[in-house]
Amino acid sequence: MGDLLDRFEPILAAMPAVRSPEGHVHFKNKLMWTLAILLLYFTLTNIDIFGLSPESQDIFGIYRALLAGASGSLLHLGIGPIVTASIVLQLLKGAGILQIDTSDARGQVMYMGLQKLLIFVMIVVEALPMVASGLMMPDPSVATQFFGGNMFTVSLLIFLQLCIGGLLVVLMDEVVTKWGVGSGVGLFIVAGVSQGLVNGFLNWQTGTDPFPIGFFPRLFAIGTSGANFLEYFGTDMLALVTTVVIFMVIVYVESTRIEIPLAHTAVRGARARFPVKLIYASVLPMILVRVLQANIQMIGMFLSNAGITIFGEFQGQTPVNGLMWYIAPINQPQDWMWWLSELGHAPWEILLRMGIDITVMVVGGAVFALFWVKTAGLDSKDVARQIQRSGMQIPGYRRNAQVLEKYLDRYIPRITVIGGVFIGLLSVVANLFGVIGAVGGTGLLLAVSITYRLYEEVASQQIMEMYPFMRSFFGKE
């Protein structure tokens, strides 16, 4: 595959990209770029796709908190193409098929170009079936008013808008990554989940019963009406407890770490510590697992709508039987508490589905965590190189990359797997008991962890603004 990549190197190097800053970007400017992109993101999520029928279906509805964007808007695809392309690249690299040395500049350019090319392909791959299958339906009134009743033209226009929105997400992500604070993907997830939480606490609209959906309006309405508290508010209280517990657990776990002592070889007495967090690979591998599940469910829905029900049948976006029902993630207590309502499945079937969900999240969390660490340059080999280039060494050990790598191998691979398994289990538990708002347990878990890491990065940026010499010391210049 190396020869093939060499042939496509001019194309990969010419992929459109946001220009990187030539020097240091002041922290205030980073905040300005981040806030500007956040404002643009919210603006685009409120611009509806022109010509789209209100009867269209959002196949990623239950994954919306993870995929960001907004249903029926220009950003309908959200971060789905970016994450799917990352999954493909990580699987190729993990299997040894893709061999690109990202430690040198040429390898980095080729890898980023290949990733960008795959993202463009995934935008088309995700948008085209949505339009072709009739899930994203053209509005007949728009076709009649503007295009003489030509529905194909409206469908083509919807497809182009989906692709443009997908490209805008890619470019906004690059702007935040290069010019702002954190990453665009993380920022968009936090924005979507925060919006969902506010809506979950304050929404006055009624649902399937006479009471509002939002936590506080519902609490007030049930309290003043004298209705049965446990019957109408029991699951809401459970969701509140789960939300608070998940928040506290993630904050605690993010601060749990093993610190490897370092000493500078040239500056006598200069010491530092390299932290290996329990969630070393962050919670982003959970996005990969959930998006992989979402893509599988999307394929099952397309087949079901086409009359091919060998893998299961769907009602709207929800699988109701077959293999697709068993491998679909559980998103709320109503999906498995068979003693509260009729679910249409035997208890053993529900328990089997829960077991499959737990297995997928635990195994997937561990595997994708390992892939993520390798791809992001956080494995023992790359960290050893970074430590050596910074002029640091572990006291009592020779200043040699191989020695450092062997020492780090005691911790990094094991902690990566343990962290992936733990986050997978925590994500399942959060989904089983539900959280406030339609954000899902995994969405809340991601938002809290990403916010905590953003806080750490902001603190780090402020320190480097106060002590500029630290930028060159840590390779931030």
What string of pLDDT tens digits covers the 477 residues of the chain? 556 666 777 777 778 888 888 877 888 899 999 999 999 999 999 999 999 998 888 887 777 878 888 889 999 999 989 988 887 887 777 666 777 766 677 777 788 888 889 999 999 999 998 898 888 899 999 999 988 889 999 999 999 999 999 999 999 999 999 999 888 888 999 998 888 888 889 888 887 788 888 889 988 988 888 888 877 888 889 889 988 998 899 888 888 888 888 887 766 666 778 888 888 887 778 888 888 888 898 889 888 888 888 999 988 788 999 999 999 998 888 888 888 778 889 999 999 999 999 999 999 999 989 888 887 778 888 888 888 877 777 887 777 778 888 888 989 999 999 999 999 999 999 889 888 887 878 888 888 888 988 888 888 887 777 766 555 555 555
Residue 356: give its domain's CATH number.
1.10.3370.10
* Helices H / strands E in the chain, number of each: 19, 5
Name the domain boundary from 132, 159, 181.
181
251: nearest Cα among 448, 430, 63: 448
User: Are residue 114 and residue 238 in the same domain, yes or no?
Assistant: no
Instruction: Report pLDDT for 467.
Output: 63
Residues 190 and 302 in one domain: yes
Residues 18 and 171: beta-carbon distance below 8 Å? yes
CA angle 422, 426, 430 (to 5 degrees): 175
Take residue 388 and report the two structure tokens written for it: 């050596």
Among residues 126, 161, 181, the one where a domain terminates is 181
Question: Are 110 and 189 in the same domain?
Answer: no
Contact 187, 176 (CB under 8 A): yes
Residues 206 and 212 sit within 8 Å (Cβ to Cβ): yes
Q: Which two tokens stand for residue 130?
A: 């949505």
**pTM of the complete model:** 0.83
- Contact present, 115 and 150 (Cβ < 8 Å): no
Residue 468 is predicted with a pLDDT of 64
Question: For residue 103, what pLDDT is reported?
Answer: 65
What is the spatial distance between Cα 475 and Cα 279, in angstroms, rounded to a whole number?
A: 23
- Same domain (yes/no): 250, 323: yes
324 φ, ψ (degrees, to nearest 5) = -65, -30
Are 255 and 131 contained in the same domain? no
Last residue of a domain, one of 139, 162, 181: 181
Same domain? For 74 and 125 the reply is yes
81 and 15 assigned to the same domain: yes
d(CA 29, CA 70): 28
Residue 329 DSSP symbol: P
Question: Rounded to 5 degrees, what are φ and ψ at 52?
Answer: -85, 130
C-alpha to C-alpha distance for 344 and 320, rounded to whole angstroms: 9
State the pLDDT at residue 4: 67
Per-residue model confidence (pLDDT) at position 95? 66
- Domain identity same for 175 and 191: no
Q: How far apart are CA 64 and CA 76, in angstroms?
A: 9
Q: Are 290 and 298 in contact (CB under 8 A)?
A: no
Same domain, 309 and 407: yes
Which helix (H) or strand (E) segment holds residue 393: the answer is: strand 392-393
What pairing do the DSSP bridges indicate for beta strands 318-319 and 314-315?
A: antiparallel
pLDDT at residue number 267: 63
How far is residue 181's CA from residue 203's CA, in Å, rounded to a whole number?
Answer: 31
Domain shared by 345 and 356, yes or no = yes
In the block, tokens 């005691």 appear at 410
Residues 421 and 394 in one domain: yes
* Residue 289 and residue 390 in one domain: yes
Domain limits for position 54: 1-181
Question: Sign of the CA dihedral 394, 395, 400, 405?
Answer: negative
Question: What's the pLDDT at 169?
Answer: 95
Determine the pLDDT at residue 400. Answer: 78
Domains: count for the chain: 2
Sign of CA dihedral 52, 54, 59, 61: positive
**pLDDT for res 474:** 52
